[in-house]
Structure 1
Amino acid sequence: MEADTTYSFRVKDCLLGAQMLFVAFGALVLVPLLTGMNSNVALFTAGVGTLIFQVCTRGKVPIFLASSFAFIAPIIYGVQTWGLPATLGGMVVAGAVYVVLSFLIRWRGMAIITRLLPPIVTGPVIIVIGLILAPTGVNMALGKTGDGAAVLVPENTALIISMASLATTVLISLLGRGWLRLIPILCGITVGCLGSIFLGVYDFAKVAAAPWFAVPDFVFPVFQWEPILFIIPITLAPAIEHFGDIIAISSVTGKDFLKDPGIKSTMLGDGLATMMASFLGGPPNTTYSEVTGAVALTRAFNPGVMTWAAICAIALSCVNKLGAFLSSIPVPVMGGIMILLFGAIMVVGLNTLVRAGEDLMEPRNLAVVALIIIFGVGGMTFNIGSFRLGGIGLAAVTGVLLNLLLPEAVHGRPRKARAVQPSHSE
């Protein structure tokens, strides 16, 4: 009888794990769909990355790792400029930066990171990410390629499809109940695909021609200085966000994961998972807030559930028809989702500044925020020989340097950001 009880418990965990993957699925595959990477590889690296994270955290944190939205713009720009292998090389180094940060936190505590990267820097950088991506989303919603150079779907037809996807995503996020509210992106994509089929836009030829099962199409990195130096500064914002994600899952479960296993261990797991993903051609990994919401809803606090979610992701990565189906989703469907997504990224940056409680009209703060945003969105670039720094990378470097070099206000120091500090054990 005891064996049967154990077996049923495992079956229950497997089903819960599959549900967790379903919650993460829309966001997980969205990054490769937007950047031209392989969806099956993203599924595989999300599963393996989650297992690596569990090893680093000794299986204590019920969280799932998958494709990071913070790297969408760098990947798009990097692939267009240097190609996918060189961009992957930059992302491998980005994962190594996480690893270095984890050892820095182990040595000096999280306070040193928050001093180097206060909200007055990270907030505007996140805003720049959303604003730079905005034209790509609008172009795709209008049925064009991301750069607007070619029309793929007639504009009126594309608008019907993209607005249906957008409206569904917004309405589900606002009015959805239970599990439905956790998968607004997946619902938006489903409605957009159904509209595309009805309007004769969806082409199933690629899906029909694809074999059912195949090993994911891995791509391996090459290392060049330009993409590495371009991508490294962008790792700073998601590194800070990781801290917030761990606080969130701690709040949901009632356990202080900042103490045990510690942010030093969770950051290490995130970094190693990102390095592994980039080595195989997948997008960098990050902890998923959607899954944290699902944990809160189901009360599934057992980290073993995420092990099953990871195994399900690895198994699905070998279903080649799934990847063919995802890659054939019409451009307007993704465009409608991207409009909301990129706007949401910008709002996250604004909220970072609002919650910090800084006076943005104070001359020092005004200079930092203004230069980050205008350098990033305005297209400012610096060229030194063959090296070029611009866009998000320049915005991040500008913010860090200005925050370190500009003197404090003459009539009193600017208020410190309100932030939760980790325990001294970190």
Structure 2
Amino acid sequence: MQGNIIQVEERVPLGKGIALSLQHMFAMFGASVLVPILFGINPGVVLLMNGIGTLLFILITKGKAPAYLGSSFAFLSPVFMIMGAGATQDASRYPLALGGFVVVGLVICVVALLIRLFGTKWIDVILPPAAMGPVVALIGLTLAGTAAKSGGLPVPGVELATIDYHNVIVFCITLLTAIFGSILFKKFLAVIPILISIVVGCIVAALFGQFHIDQTLTHQIFILPQFQTPQFDLAAIAIILPAALVIVTEHIGHQMVTGKIVDRDLIKDPGLHRTLLSDGISTALSGFVGSVPTTTYGENIGVMAITKVYSVWVIGGAAVISIVVAFIGPVSAVIQAIPWSVIGGVSFMLYGMIAASGLRLLVEAKVDYSKSRNLALTSVVLVTGLSGAYIPISASFNLEGLPLSTIIGMVLGIIFWLLDKAKLTNDRD
């Protein structure tokens, strides 16, 4: 132990360790369970697989890289394209998304092997920062309307006479709690403003008769999570697959940030190939049993930065707690009973944060927009994602939005790289 710092491999006393593990579990809880709520699936299986995925991560990385694997937001847009969003969801189509998750997980494993063999520079060729930034931003931007509609706000296509202003009030209070909580809360509360906003929103919803916790307490104490079997459909896989690039890029960024926090080069030891392989295996396994894709969680990186507790034993404890909670019936029932007005309020901010993180990627990568190719890449990716243009894949699916813009960004990125190598561009590096 160095001063107040608890290093990666250090153990902590049991009592303190449980408290620290609970903190990590709650840090990921609000955002991580929001994904299955938005998909309309049982959150128990997600909590189970997040815990298992985290333990696998620790095992594969030999306990050298502290990270918690939570539910990925990168897949929201493509999954909604497959099964619909909010009240229009068709739950019977979720297995098609699961097949895509499995394939994405396997692709990430292949990327890990390529990184082991060739390093990471080729990723910037396939999807350079000028394209990756707007791709990440589109994850949030394309979902903004969904959050507003789920929250019961007046939006195009909805008649004012049908608006329940109780829903609007709950939405606004939930959103404002998340906004000001992220700015004003101190210490541990500053790590969980999303969770607190959900609790506050549910209390307000209960006052309006929209949330009945007494019904959730009648569930069995111990239950088995609800598993589903994936279905493999080429059209659905084509829609889901581009999100793999977002996961890979996000993962690399998280490992670099975590390495700076713990003052170790995690890219070299245990190696980016090991951490990414762990993420890929976790995502594939989650798809096989009916869960959602996983990713290293920025919320938990934030906890480590604040507490200076980097111990993988603490993070492993959080994973075990998540697994235990997955089998507690009332917890899953309470999560599933959360009103859409509350979910809309939380997701309204989260989708905006995802969009802003795309802009942050551009800033941190120092993308130079005096270069014509960077301006062209960002412009075309953004317009493609927001234009509504699509390519028909089958009678059931169209390639549009995030997946289409990602593919176009990749094609342009490779073409620009080839032109640059041929010394045909006028703004080469």
TM-score under structure 2 normalisation?
A: 0.89
Tell me which residue corresponds to 1:98: 108
Counterpart contact for 2:125–2:414, Cα < 8 Å: no
Supply the distance in 2 between the matched residues of 1:352 and 1:258 (Cα, whole angstroms): 19
Q: Residue type matched to 1:79 in 2?
A: M
* CA gap 1:296/1:353 in 2 versus in 1, 3 angstroms: closer
After superposition, residues 346-385 of structure 1 pair within 5 angstroms as: 346-360=355-369, 362-384=371-393
After superposition, residues 59-208 of structure 1 pair within 5 angstroms as: 59-80=63-84, 83-142=93-152, 154-204=163-213, 206-208=215-217
**Structure 2 counterpart of 1:36, from 25, 36, 40:** 40
SS in 1 for 2:399: strand
Alpha-carbon deviations, 1:280-334, whole Å to 9, x = none?
Answer: 1111011111111112222222211111111101100001111111111111111
Supply the distance in 1 between the matched residues of 2:280 and 2:336 (Cα, whole angstroms): 28
Supply the distance in 2 between the matched residues of 1:62 and 1:257 (Cα, whole angstroms): 10
1:205 positional shift = 6.1
Alpha-carbon deviations, 1:327-386, whole Å to 9, x = none?
Answer: 111111111111111111111112222333334364333332222122211111112555
Supply the distance in 1 between the matched residues of 2:237 and 2:171 (Cα, whole angstroms): 35
Counterpart contact for 2:150–2:340, Cα < 8 Å: yes
The answer to whether residue 19 in structure 2 is matched with residue 15 in structure 1 is: yes
Tell me which residue corresponds to 1:266: 275
Alpha-carbon deviations, 1:138-181, whole Å to 9, x = none?
Answer: 1122269x997799x95321121111111111111111111111
Tell me which residue corresponds to 1:413: 427
* CA gap 1:148/1:293 in 2 versus in 1, 3 angstroms: farther
Counterpart contact for 2:125–2:413, Cα < 8 Å: no
Q: Residue type matched to 2:427 in 1?
A: R
SS in 2 for 1:256: coil
Structure 1 unaligned segments of length 5 or more: list them: 1-5, 416-426
Counterpart contact for 2:371–2:427, Cα < 8 Å: no
Aligned residues: 409
Tell me which residue corresponds to 1:221: 230
Q: Residue type matched to 2:51 in 1?
A: G
The answer to whether residue 336 in structure 2 is matched with residue 322 in structure 1 is: no
Q: Residue type matched to 1:249 in 2?
A: T
Supply the distance in 2 between the matched residues of 1:414 and 1:162 (Cα, whole angstroms): 48
1:85 positional shift = 0.6
Tell me which residue corresponds to 1:420: none
Supply the distance in 1 between the matched residues of 2:322 and 2:163 (Cα, whole angstroms): 35
Counterpart contact for 1:192–1:333, Cα < 8 Å: yes
TM-score under structure 1 normalisation?
A: 0.90
Supply the distance in 2 between the matched residues of 1:216 and 1:35 (Cα, whole angstroms): 16
Supply the distance in 2 between the matched residues of 1:346 and 1:385 (Cα, whole angstroms): 30
The answer to whether residue 298 in structure 2 is matched with residue 298 in structure 1 is: no
Counterpart contact for 1:381–1:391, Cα < 8 Å: yes
Tell me which residue corresponds to 1:55: 59
Counterpart contact for 2:95–2:228, Cα < 8 Å: yes
Segment drifting more, 236-245 vs 350-359: 350-359
Supply the distance in 2 between the matched residues of 1:49 and 1:301 (Cα, whole angstroms): 18
Supply the distance in 1 between the matched residues of 2:189 and 2:261 (Cα, whole angstroms): 19
Segment drifting more, 237-246 vs 357-366: 357-366
Tell me which residue corresponds to 2:7: none
Counterpart contact for 1:136–1:147, Cα < 8 Å: no
Supply the distance in 2 between the matched residues of 1:288 and 1:411 (Cα, whole angstroms): 39
Supply the distance in 1 between the matched residues of 2:225 and 2:254 (Cα, whole angstroms): 29
Counterpart contact for 2:235–2:393, Cα < 8 Å: no
After superposition, residues 244-263 of structure 1 pair within 5 angstroms as: 244-263=253-272
Structure 2 unaligned segments of length 5 or more: list them: 1-9, 85-89
SS in 1 for 2:242: helix
* CA gap 1:148/1:241 in 2 versus in 1, 3 angstroms: farther
Q: Residue type matched to 1:186 in 2?
A: L
1:260 positional shift = 0.8
Counterpart contact for 1:139–1:148, Cα < 8 Å: no
* CA gap 1:205/1:175 in 2 versus in 1, 3 angstroms: closer
Segment drifting more, 318-327 vs 400-409: 400-409
- Between the aligned residues of both structures, percent identity stands at 34
Counterpart contact for 1:139–1:147, Cα < 8 Å: no
Alpha-carbon deviations, 1:180-214, whole Å to 9, x = none?
Answer: 11001001101101111112221346414422220
CA RMSD of aligned residues (A): 2.5
* CA gap 1:397/1:147 in 2 versus in 1, 3 angstroms: farther
